Chain A
Amino acid sequence: MSLVDHLPVLVVIIPLMAGPLCVLVERPLAAWGLALAAAWLSFAAAVALAAQVNGTGVISYELGGWAPPWGIEYRIDTLGSYVLLIVTGIAALVMVAAKESVASEVPEAKVARFYAALMLAFAGLVGIVATGDAFNVFVFLEISSLASYALISMGRDRRALTSAFDYLVMGTIGATFILIGIGFLYMMTGTLNMQDLAARLPEVWDTRTVRAGFAFLTVGIGLKLAMFPLHLWLPNAYTYAPSVVTAFLAATATKVAVYVLLRFMLDIFGIDFALGRMPFEYILLPVGVIGILSASLVAIYQVEVKRLLAYSSIAQIGYMLLGIGLASTTGVTGAILHLFNHALMKGALFLALAAIAYRLRSTSLQDLTGLGRRMPWTMFAIVIGGLSLIGVPATVGFVSKWYLVLAALEQGLWPVALLILLGSLLAVVYVWKLVEAAYLTEPRDDVAVQEAPLSMLIPLWVLVIANVYFGVNTEVSVGLARQAAAVLTGGAG
Chain B
Amino acid sequence: METELTFDPVRLPLECQRLRADVRAFLAEEMAAGTFTPHIGGIDGAYSREFSRKVGARGWIGMTWPKKYGGQERSFLERYVVTEEFRVANAPVRLHFIADRQSGPVLLKYGSDRVKADVLPRICRGEVCFAIGMSEPNSGSDLFAASTKATKTDGGWLVNGTKVWTSNAHNADYLIGLFRTSAPTKENRRHGLTQFLVDMRTPGIAVNPIIQMTGHHDFNEVVFQDAFMPDDHVIGEVDGAWKQATSELAYERSGPERFLETYYVLTELVRVLGAKLDTRGAEGIGRLVAQVHALRRMSVSVAGMLHAGKEPVVEAAIVKDVGTIWEQELPARARDLAAFVEEQAGNRVAFEEVMAFATQAAPKLTIQGGTTEILRGIIARGLGLR
Partners in one complex: no
Q: Which residues on A are within 8 Å of B, measured CB to CB?
A: none
